Structure 1
Amino acid sequence: MNRYLVVTGGTVSKKVLETVLSDYDFQKIIACDKGLEICQECDILPDLVIGDFDSAKTDIVASYREKTEFLDLDTHKDFTDTHVAISYILEQEIRPDEVILVGATGTRMDHTLANIGLLKQFAEFGISAYLIDEHNRITMTAHQHIVKRTDAYRYVSLLPYTEQVTGVTLQGFYYNAQGLTLKLGESIGVSNELIAECGLIEFESGLLIVIESRD
């Protein structure tokens, strides 16, 4: 599988990044701005570094300058560093099958919500993409999705990203469903649990956010 890792500038612990690196094989690693700091802490050499570097420590950025490729951005830009990284990925001649993003959530709720929204671009191209932090694994899908049972995540929540997600059918969950409509602004899809080894999520139209949570 052709898989990319994006390490961006939100909250990411050394434990989370090292776990992701041990659980997955990556063909390319991209660091965005302050994400370079945790890369240094974990002794990771990204294949590409993207950013305007308004938040990363100057000495750390300088130490990577001659080691790898840089895409320098203007501080006064229209899009976030993470957005530019996603655009770069989608512009590749051979796009990845899967993208993992760490550091995409944290105390900046504006950045967290924007990064969840950026998953829409991957969903529309049929690329699996996940935001992973210490407590959650988040994806967005425009088609059916399979959730595998794991000790790492107890709850599975479904939230519509579009005005509504129609014809939702759930199999393998504590709360199964047939032909359900999930509407934006409602919470009916929150805190479900798997009772089978795999849970199947199918729906007819819309974009669906799937959040697996530890606690």
Structure 2
Amino acid sequence: MTTIALVAGGPRENLANLTKYHSEDVIWVGIDRGSRYLLDFNLPLHYAFGDFDSISAKELENLKTKIPDLNTLPSEKDKTDTEIALDWCISQKPDQIFIFGATGGRLDHLLGNIHLLIKSTSTQSKIDIIDQQNQITLYTAGTYTVKRQIEWNYISFVAISADIYGLTLNGFKYPLKNCHIRLGSTLCISNELISDVGTFSFRDGILLMIRSRD
């Protein structure tokens, strides 16, 4: 299984413990200030993207000594640094893409990053946004299993398309059967698994599954 981990430059206090996701097979990609975070965690920096406007000139020079193939982007462009880096990751066709440092701070960046998950509908790569308190994954219509994990005690489902048709939850504290969820509904916030393995299914639409902890 090939994994690429992107680290964007969101607030440090929201960042997950990156070392937990490290293995020799993971390719680590820094995005702007996220490149500095990787160095702070003593993790390898295989690639870096960004206009690097969020780090000092001294820090940028240090980065250049760590990674000669620095993908320096213009400050004025039609995509964010994170989207450009994610597009590159998708082109590598990994099995899994993790995005860290994509939450907190500016709401426009947060919402933009969450909507980048829509790219997973046109690739075989599974894409997750992870921070210290949440894990966000996008799903299209189908049937899925989800395992109970102590570290993620809450599970929420949020519509990202206008409608979710036929949402069914089994093995959850608050089950559903063939339910219609509209965009903006909070019906499926803060659910919990009561079985070791639960299932969720829906026949049409796009939703986010958000695993959270207190």
Aligned length: 211
The percent identity for this pair of structures is 31
Distance 2:173 2:73 in 1: 47
Shift of the alpha carbon at 1:2? 1.0
The C-alpha deviation readout for 1:9-30, integer Å capped at 9, x for no partner, is 1024576222232xx6643111
Tell me which amino acid in the other structure corresponds to 2:78.
D
Contact 2:155 2:212 in 1 (8 A): yes
Indicate which of 122, 125, 132 corresponds to 2:123.
Answer: 125
Alpha-carbon offset, residue 64 of structure 1: 2.3
2:29–2:35 CA contact under 8 A, matched in 1: no
TM-score by length of 1: 0.91
- Cα offset for 1:166? 1.0
Task: Give the Cα separation in 2 of the matches to 1:31 and 1:144.
Answer: 34
Amino acid at match of 1:123: T
User: Do the aligned residues in 1 keep the contact of 2:45 with 2:66 (CA within 8 Å)?
Assistant: no
Please tell me whether the aligned partners of residues 16 and 130 of structure 2 are also in contact (alpha carbons under 8 angstroms). Answer: no
Is residue 12–residue 133 contact of structure 1 (8 Å, CA) maintained in 2? no
Q: Amino acid of the residue matched to residue 210 of structure 1? A: M
The equivalences for 1:159-170 within 5 A come to 159-170=158-169
Any stretches of 5+ residues in structure 2 without a counterpart?
none
Question: Where does structure 1 lack aligned partners over 5 or more consecutive residues?
Answer: none
Counterpart of 1:141 (choices 131, 139, 142) is 139
What's the RMSD between the two structures over aligned residues? 1.7
Tell me which stretches of 4 or more aligned residues in structure 1 moved more than 6 Å. Answer: none
Correspondence for 1:47 = 46
**Separation (CA, whole Å) in 1 of partners of 2:61 and 2:47:** 14
Note the C-alpha offset of 1:97.
Answer: 0.9
Q: Deviations over 1:131-180 (max 9, x none)?
A: 11111111111143332211111110000100011111211111112211
Output the CA distance in 1 between the equivalents of 2:37 and 2:212.
Answer: 23
Which residue is equivalent to 2:114?
Answer: 116
